[in-house]
Amino acid sequence: MSDEKLLVVKDLKTTFDTANGLLPAVGGVSFDLDRNETLGIVGESGSGKTVLSRTIMGLQPRTKVSVTGSAVIDGFEVVGASENDKRKIWGTEVAMVFQDPMTSLNPVMRIGKQIDEALRVRLGMDKAAAKARAIELLELVGIPSPQERYDAYPGMLSGGMRQRVVIAIALACSPKLLMADEPTTGLDVTIQAQILNLLDELKDRLKMSVILVTHDLGVVATRTSRIVVMYAGRIVETGNTRDVFYHHRMPYTKALLESSPKVSNHSHTRLVTIPGRPPNLLNLPDGCAFAPRCSYATDQCHLVRPELEPSSEPGHTFACWNPLPVNEEGALA
């Protein structure tokens, strides 16, 4: 049981039926996640990372969406499960931290009550026990004087504090998997680091796994053991964090890395951008979705889509016809 993978995703596809045709937001994604592991999912806006994370949670808009493939969380198949069944794993097996702490707390409910809710409803605790546990959780996520904050309304807290409360709520029922969808986007840089360190620390303390969804490579660099790079709804490269950073083969990964600011840059250095824009998912090219923006693209790239193939390092795969040469020096390209 415990050496089994916590999450196994196989050929997961999420297709929206829009007025303009079928939109494959996630187009066949497979990966897995060990217990007590942190996985980073990175990609541009619109690369399907949020839809992927919501699909794994079993959260879809009620209308016009089809999900195929499989996503198994600790033995529970999420795809095709009814709302009632999913409710059994929500909170206790898998929980979610949302992007914007300003909107992910109910503004008219005391924060203590919001943590209590889950404890009393899901774990059947009585009032006093739930309150004690809620205060414990507030303390765990580093909120000063939790006893007093228990009665505060979200409006009385700063963004960073609110995100801590959001994390406390997610942790209430001790989930095995914490899904963090851009958990720091709405926060200042200094607060971002605090929240990420907190997540990291909690992961070890509570022996859970974390999926960190982000567009910011700096966020995943030191805190994840593996990275999944997504483009146009598919995985284009995946591997150990180190391999993806130093031995990436896919030009898109390289472009992503180059487009993040570095401390070593001289001031006034222009950021390298990726030319063009992400493809229209309604009308994906037959070949590699990145080909139109890729400086390495050949005719083959435009005609046939490359599949994921293994690189020299174990667990490192990439989808590219003209991969970058293996960089043995390990220098950041």
**Binding residues for other proteins, per CB under 8 A?**
57, 59, 62-63, 87-88, 90-92, 94-96, 98-100, 103-109, 117-118, 121-122, 144-145, 148-149, 151-153, 155-156, 166, 169-170, 172-173
Task: Quote the least distance from Cβ 68 to other proteins, whole Å.
Answer: 21
Question: At closest approach, how far in Å is the CB of 134 from other proteins?
Answer: 13
- Between 63 and 190, CB nearer to other proteins: 63
CA-based nearest residue to 33, from 56, 8, 3? 8
Query: Smallest distance, Å, CB 244 to other proteins?
Result: 29
Using the minimum distance from each CB to other proteins, give the nearer residue, 97 or 256.
Answer: 97
- CB–CB of 211/288 below 8 Å? no
Q: CB-wise, 148 or 309, nearer to other proteins? A: 148
| DSSP code, position 66 | E
Minimum Å distance from CB 36 to other proteins? 21
Residue number with CB closer to other proteins (211 or 235): 211
Nearer to other proteins, 145 or 280 (CB): 145
Question: Is 208 strand, coil or helix?
Answer: coil
- Minimum Å gap between C-beta 97 and other proteins is 9
Single out the residue of 293, 242, 331, 304 nearest to residue 320, CA to CA: 304
Is the CB of 95 or the CB of 255 nearer to other proteins?
Answer: 95
Nearer to other proteins by C-beta: 68 or 145? 145
C-beta neighbour count of 294 within 10 angstroms: 23
Angle between helices 159-171 and 189-206 (to 10 degrees): 20
- Taking the C-alpha atoms of residue 269 and residue 287, their distance in angstroms, rounded to an integer, is 34
* Eight-class DSSP state of 111: H
| Burial class for 152, CB neighbours closer than 10 Å (0-12, 13-18, 19+) | middle
HSE value, Cβ hemisphere, 13 Å, CA-based, for 93: 18
Q: How far is the CB of 169 from other proteins (least distance, A)?
A: 7
Separation of CA 40 from chain center: 6
Return the H-helix or E-strand segment holding 23: strand 21-33
The end-to-end CA distance of the chain, in Å, is 41
* Distance of closest approach, residue 318 Cβ to other proteins, in angstroms: 32
Kindly state the DSSP code that residue 105 receives in the 8-state scheme.
S
